Amino acid sequence: MKKKAKKAVKKQKKAVKKSQKKAAKKPAKKPAKKPVKTTAKKAEKKIKSPAKHLKPGENRTVYLSLGSNVGDREEYIEQAVTLLKETPGIKVVRRSSNFETQPEGKKNQPLFINCAVEITTNLSPQSLLDLMQGFEDTLGRDRSLEWGPRTIDIDILLYGNELISEDRLSIPHPLMHERIFVLEPLQEIAPNVIHPILERTIKELYHDKKAETVSTDKYEEDLPGFREVKRGIADDYERW
């Protein structure tokens, strides 16, 4: 009887070991995922997340154009630069002098103060755009009137050598090579930077535009009725 009892105990132990081995092989059940709550802080973190195509610690060199023609113009420029300096993920490398410039588009408004700023950042172009528009709102930018006066205007001119064409964002800025108020401050801090589409340096683009502006001014001043003739030609072209 004792032998039978011992054999029964041994069999029971073997059965327990087998069941333990089988249980160990089975994958443990994963706990059900809890729904993720979206908060304002998480949304802000998403906006400020690094660009997907950038490696950890990798930054892009970005050039910005700043302008103001309302109130204390220079103070608004300084406040915008301060916001850039205080933002994680952005480092202000250098900035240009302030230039007083004529308004574009709607002429009947105060003169602008413009400057250019070079930064490095790990933010994506789209995240940087959201951030710059947030800065504009913080500093009281009124968007109700197109080409109208503004406390601050911040444009992304170049983002490394990236070429971007989206509804909200175009890089390089599509009008930067046409605007003397953009090129003059920019060529002060980045004369040898090459426009990724036009393949010309900022300094070359600035001198080209300056020569074009001087030439146009000379014709308009020296030739009576030149503006009317030019306008008439343009009207004929539109009709044609």
Catalytic residue (choose from 60, 73, 150, 179): 150
- CA 131 to mean position of chain CA atoms: 8
Catalytic residue among 130, 155, 200, 208: 155
Which of these is catalytic: 141, 168, 217, 231? 141
**DSSP class of 111:** P
Catalytic residue at 179? no
Kindly give the interhelix angle for 202-222 and 180-189, rounded to the nearest 10 degrees: 140
Based on the residue annotation, tell me whether 94 is a catalytic residue of this protein. Answer: no
For residue 155, give the 3-state DSSP assignment: strand
Catalytic residue status for 153: yes
Q: Which of 60, 95, 153, 179 is catalytic?
A: 153
Distance of alpha carbon 67 from alpha carbon 55, whole angstroms: 32
List, in order, residues 6 or more apart from 189 with CB less than 8 Å away.
Answer: 94, 95, 96, 116, 118
> By three-state DSSP, how is residue 150 classified?
coil
Active site residue 60: no
Residues 87/131, Cβ–Cβ less than 8 Å: yes
The catalytic residue positions are 141, 150, 153, 155
